[in-house]
Amino acid sequence: MTAAVLATELSLPMFTIRLDSLLSKFMGETASKLRLVFDAVAQRRAVYLFDEFDALGGDRSGNDVGEARRILNSFLVFLEEASPESLVLAATNHRAILDKALFRRFDAVLTYALPDARQAAAVIKARLGTLASGTSLAKLGDYTSGLSHAELVKAAETAAKTVLMRGERAVGREDLIVALTARRTASLG
Protein backbone atom coordinates (compact mmCIF):
# COMPACT_ATOMS: atom_id res chain seq x y z
CA MET A 1 0.00 0.00 0.00
CA THR A 2 2.89 2.33 0.74
CA ALA A 3 4.29 1.88 -2.77
CA ALA A 4 0.89 2.60 -4.29
CA VAL A 5 0.50 5.78 -2.23
CA LEU A 6 3.99 6.96 -3.18
CA ALA A 7 3.34 6.28 -6.85
CA THR A 8 0.04 8.16 -6.71
CA GLU A 9 1.45 11.12 -4.81
CA LEU A 10 4.43 11.38 -7.17
CA SER A 11 2.29 10.77 -10.28
CA LEU A 12 4.55 7.88 -11.26
CA PRO A 13 3.66 4.45 -12.58
CA MET A 14 4.18 1.56 -10.19
CA PHE A 15 5.68 -1.80 -11.09
CA THR A 16 5.65 -4.81 -8.81
CA ILE A 17 8.52 -7.21 -9.35
CA ARG A 18 7.24 -10.72 -8.84
CA LEU A 19 10.09 -12.64 -7.30
CA ASP A 20 8.51 -15.99 -8.13
CA SER A 21 9.06 -15.24 -11.83
CA LEU A 22 12.44 -13.63 -11.23
CA LEU A 23 14.13 -16.41 -9.28
CA SER A 24 15.51 -19.26 -11.34
CA LYS A 25 17.15 -22.57 -10.52
CA PHE A 26 19.70 -22.01 -13.30
CA MET A 27 23.00 -20.45 -12.29
CA GLY A 28 23.30 -16.82 -13.35
CA GLU A 29 19.79 -16.53 -14.79
CA THR A 30 18.32 -14.69 -11.78
CA ALA A 31 21.11 -12.10 -11.81
CA SER A 32 20.48 -11.57 -15.54
CA LYS A 33 16.79 -10.97 -14.85
CA LEU A 34 17.69 -8.58 -12.02
CA ARG A 35 19.88 -6.64 -14.44
CA LEU A 36 16.88 -6.28 -16.77
CA VAL A 37 14.79 -4.91 -13.89
CA PHE A 38 17.44 -2.39 -12.94
CA ASP A 39 17.94 -1.43 -16.59
CA ALA A 40 14.22 -0.55 -16.54
CA VAL A 41 14.77 1.42 -13.31
CA ALA A 42 17.40 3.46 -15.14
CA GLN A 43 15.30 3.96 -18.28
CA ARG A 44 11.81 4.57 -16.89
CA ARG A 45 11.10 6.81 -13.92
CA ALA A 46 8.69 4.87 -11.69
CA VAL A 47 8.13 3.21 -8.33
CA TYR A 48 9.48 -0.37 -8.34
CA LEU A 49 8.27 -2.68 -5.58
CA PHE A 50 10.04 -5.92 -4.72
CA ASP A 51 7.32 -7.65 -2.70
CA GLU A 52 7.98 -10.64 -0.42
CA PHE A 53 11.60 -9.54 -0.54
CA ASP A 54 12.80 -12.11 1.97
CA ALA A 55 12.77 -14.63 -0.93
CA LEU A 56 15.69 -12.68 -2.43
CA GLY A 57 17.23 -10.78 0.48
CA GLY A 58 17.83 -13.52 3.06
CA ASP A 59 20.87 -13.26 5.31
CA ARG A 60 23.99 -14.41 3.44
CA SER A 61 25.83 -15.52 6.58
CA GLY A 62 23.47 -18.43 7.22
CA ASN A 63 23.02 -19.25 3.56
CA ASP A 64 25.14 -22.13 2.35
CA VAL A 65 23.85 -21.91 -1.21
CA GLY A 66 26.44 -20.03 -3.23
CA GLU A 67 23.99 -19.00 -5.95
CA ALA A 68 21.67 -17.37 -3.39
CA ARG A 69 24.62 -15.32 -2.08
CA ARG A 70 25.56 -14.29 -5.62
CA ILE A 71 21.99 -13.20 -6.35
CA LEU A 72 21.88 -11.01 -3.25
CA ASN A 73 25.33 -9.60 -4.03
CA SER A 74 24.12 -8.76 -7.54
CA PHE A 75 21.02 -7.07 -6.13
CA LEU A 76 23.16 -4.97 -3.77
CA VAL A 77 25.42 -3.86 -6.63
CA PHE A 78 22.46 -3.04 -8.89
CA LEU A 79 20.79 -1.11 -6.07
CA GLU A 80 23.95 0.95 -5.48
CA GLU A 81 23.94 1.89 -9.17
CA ALA A 82 20.17 2.48 -9.42
CA SER A 83 18.91 5.66 -10.96
CA PRO A 84 17.93 8.30 -8.39
CA GLU A 85 15.00 9.19 -10.69
CA SER A 86 13.11 6.05 -9.64
CA LEU A 87 12.08 4.70 -6.27
CA VAL A 88 13.02 1.13 -5.41
CA LEU A 89 11.09 -0.36 -2.51
CA ALA A 90 11.27 -3.76 -0.89
CA ALA A 91 8.59 -5.21 1.37
CA THR A 92 8.70 -8.16 3.72
CA ASN A 93 6.88 -9.59 6.69
CA HIS A 94 10.12 -11.24 7.86
CA ARG A 95 12.54 -8.43 8.58
CA ALA A 96 14.64 -10.53 10.97
CA ILE A 97 15.90 -12.85 8.20
CA LEU A 98 17.05 -10.07 5.85
CA ASP A 99 20.73 -9.54 5.22
CA LYS A 100 22.08 -6.61 7.26
CA ALA A 101 23.70 -5.03 4.21
CA LEU A 102 20.25 -4.29 2.78
CA PHE A 103 19.50 -1.88 5.60
CA ARG A 104 22.55 0.20 4.63
CA ARG A 105 21.56 0.36 0.95
CA PHE A 106 18.01 1.68 1.38
CA ASP A 107 17.55 5.32 2.31
CA ALA A 108 14.76 4.58 4.79
CA VAL A 109 13.36 1.58 6.61
CA LEU A 110 9.71 1.80 7.56
CA THR A 111 8.20 -0.53 10.11
CA TYR A 112 4.47 -0.86 10.40
CA ALA A 113 3.00 -2.13 13.63
CA LEU A 114 -0.15 -4.20 13.60
CA PRO A 115 -3.23 -2.02 13.82
CA ASP A 116 -5.05 -1.64 17.12
CA ALA A 117 -8.81 -2.25 17.31
CA ARG A 118 -9.69 1.34 16.35
CA GLN A 119 -7.33 1.35 13.38
CA ALA A 120 -8.59 -2.09 12.31
CA ALA A 121 -12.17 -0.83 12.27
CA ALA A 122 -11.09 2.17 10.18
CA VAL A 123 -9.30 -0.11 7.67
CA ILE A 124 -12.37 -2.34 7.36
CA LYS A 125 -14.72 0.62 7.04
CA ALA A 126 -12.55 2.24 4.38
CA ARG A 127 -12.39 -0.96 2.36
CA LEU A 128 -16.10 -1.71 2.58
CA GLY A 129 -17.27 1.82 1.87
CA THR A 130 -21.05 1.95 1.50
CA LEU A 131 -21.30 -1.81 2.11
CA ALA A 132 -20.58 -1.06 5.78
CA SER A 133 -23.48 1.39 6.15
CA GLY A 134 -25.43 0.66 9.31
CA THR A 135 -23.00 -2.02 10.52
CA SER A 136 -21.39 -1.58 13.92
CA LEU A 137 -17.64 -2.12 13.74
CA ALA A 138 -17.20 -1.50 17.47
CA LYS A 139 -15.77 -4.20 19.70
CA LEU A 140 -14.29 -6.32 16.93
CA GLY A 141 -10.89 -6.26 18.66
CA ASP A 142 -11.03 -9.93 19.63
CA TYR A 143 -11.39 -10.79 15.94
CA THR A 144 -8.94 -8.25 14.50
CA SER A 145 -6.14 -8.72 17.01
CA GLY A 146 -2.96 -9.98 15.37
CA LEU A 147 -4.10 -9.23 11.82
CA SER A 148 -2.13 -6.92 9.55
CA HIS A 149 -3.63 -4.15 7.48
CA ALA A 150 -3.50 -6.40 4.40
CA GLU A 151 -5.23 -9.26 6.23
CA LEU A 152 -7.98 -6.91 7.39
CA VAL A 153 -8.51 -5.73 3.81
CA LYS A 154 -8.72 -9.34 2.62
CA ALA A 155 -11.22 -10.20 5.36
CA ALA A 156 -13.36 -7.18 4.44
CA GLU A 157 -13.25 -8.21 0.77
CA THR A 158 -14.24 -11.78 1.68
CA ALA A 159 -17.20 -10.52 3.72
CA ALA A 160 -18.23 -8.22 0.86
CA LYS A 161 -18.08 -11.03 -1.70
CA THR A 162 -20.16 -13.28 0.56
CA VAL A 163 -22.84 -10.62 0.94
CA LEU A 164 -22.90 -9.72 -2.74
CA MET A 165 -23.18 -13.38 -3.71
CA ARG A 166 -26.25 -13.59 -1.49
CA GLY A 167 -27.70 -10.61 -3.34
CA GLU A 168 -27.55 -8.28 -0.35
CA ARG A 169 -26.25 -4.70 -0.25
CA ALA A 170 -24.73 -4.43 3.24
CA VAL A 171 -22.12 -6.40 5.14
CA GLY A 172 -23.43 -7.51 8.51
CA ARG A 173 -21.42 -7.82 11.69
CA GLU A 174 -21.68 -11.63 11.55
CA ASP A 175 -20.29 -11.64 8.00
CA LEU A 176 -17.28 -9.70 9.22
CA ILE A 177 -16.76 -11.95 12.23
CA VAL A 178 -16.80 -15.05 10.03
CA ALA A 179 -14.32 -13.52 7.56
CA LEU A 180 -12.02 -12.19 10.31
CA THR A 181 -12.07 -15.53 12.13
CA ALA A 182 -11.15 -17.36 8.91
CA ARG A 183 -8.34 -14.87 8.24
CA ARG A 184 -6.95 -15.29 11.79
CA THR A 185 -7.05 -19.06 11.47
CA ALA A 186 -5.21 -18.88 8.13
CA SER A 187 -2.56 -16.44 9.41
CA LEU A 188 -1.89 -18.33 12.63
CA GLY A 189 -2.00 -21.77 11.05
Indicate whether 39 and 95 sit together in one domain. Answer: yes
Indicate whether 75 and 124 sit together in one domain. Answer: no
Domain boundary pick from 105, 139, 166: 105
Indicate whether 21 and 72 sit together in one domain. Answer: yes
Strands 14-17 and 47-50: parallel
Flag whether 112 is in a domain: no
Flag whether 111 is in a domain: no
Indicate whether 124 and 168 sit together in one domain. Answer: yes
- Amino acid 90 reads A
Indicate whether 96 and 180 sit together in one domain. Answer: no
CATH code of the domain in which 130 resides = 1.10.8.60
Indicate whether 145 and 98 sit together in one domain. Answer: no
Domain boundary pick from 105, 139, 158: 105
Domain boundary pick from 77, 105, 133: 105
Indicate whether 94 and 13 sit together in one domain. Answer: yes
User: Per-residue confidence of the chain (189 residues) as pLDDT tens digits?
Assistant: 889 999 999 999 999 887 766 766 665 677 787 888 888 888 889 998 988 777 776 554 555 556 667 777 777 888 888 888 888 898 887 778 787 888 888 888 888 889 999 999 999 999 999 999 888 888 999 999 999 888 999 999 999 999 999 999 899 999 999 999 999 888 766
Indicate whether 97 and 129 sit together in one domain. Answer: no
pTM exceeds 0.95, yes or no: no
Residue 131 belongs to what domain range? 117-188
